[in-house]
Amino acid sequence: MVLDKIARLLSQTIGLDPDIASPNQIARSVETRRVKCKLPDQSSYWARLQTSATELEELIEILIVPETWFFRDGKPFDYLKTYVTSEWRPSPNRNILQVLSVPSSTGEEPYSIAIALLEAGLHPKQFEIDAIDISHRSLAKARRGVYTKNSFRGEDWKPRSRYFQQTDQGYELSESIRKLVNFQQGNVLTALALTQKQYNIIFCRNLLIYLKSEVCEQVLAALDRLLIPGGLLFVGASETGKIVADPYKSIRLSISIPIPIPL
């Protein structure tokens, strides 16, 4: 069946677990692109996918629907502030705090990290934030920094005039915050493999649950290489079972869990 072949191609390209990906979602995405390409049937579209990297990117773009908002789950960012003020700042051997957000989607998470670090009392020169995502469209939106009310959920955090200006298009994030995040486009596995930098803190939430097991292991191995001893790895609450206990130690929060590597 053509859709099964496309599902396998997506699995090979971005590590998508075929048991997790909704067949209906894949079918809808394929049909949308087939019509856009003015092709007569799925077999013709499959042939196009095999010869066009650009079309494969287009399919991935509409298949991956970002679901994120500022200060999502809340607790990880509270813990981040506590860690910075109680452990990182007092350390006599500290350098610039290096943070990675992957996948960064449309920017709400890495920008939340930047705001949290500022509210913890850090100067912008004291930290660097890298953010990686596969989607060109998501990154374009992230760099633009204009958000709708859907990016602000719950009662604990609303768009603050200190960071946002309301416009006809929505809430525009101030340039002073936008310039604190370095966005990069890339497939997670490829991007992590090429990265030589090491990080004090890595946010990798709600990615592992969508990956097939062998790809998940590769991603975790790459993250392990990038995380300094004693650093923090934030994963989603439903993803902690994918983390091997050694060398990690979990710190239980009510929603999301930071897992530090012991020194």
Domains in the chain: boundaries: 2-63, 74-242
Closest CA to 100 of 208, 195, 213, 230: 195
3-class DSSP assignment, residue 247? coil
Return all residues near 188 (Cβ < 8 A) that are at least 6 apart.
14, 15, 102, 103, 132, 134, 207, 219
Predicted confidence pLDDT, tens digits, the chain (263 residues) = 889 899 889 888 888 877 777 788 889 999 999 999 999 999 999 999 999 999 998 998 888 877 899 999 889 999 999 999 999 988 877 899 999 999 999 999 999 999 999 999 999 999 999 999 999 999 999 999 999 989 988 766 666 778 999 999 999 999 999 999 999 999 888 888 788 899 999 999 989 888 888 888 889 989 999 999 989 999 987 777 777 655 666 665 554 545 555 44
* Rounded Cα–Cα distance for residues 202 and 159 (Å): 25
Q: Which fold has domain 74-242?
A: Rossmann fold (3.40.50)
Q: Determine which helix (DSSP H) or strand (DSSP E) holds 10, and give its type and residue range.
A: helix 2-14
* Rounded Cα–Cα distance for residues 215 and 208 (Å): 9
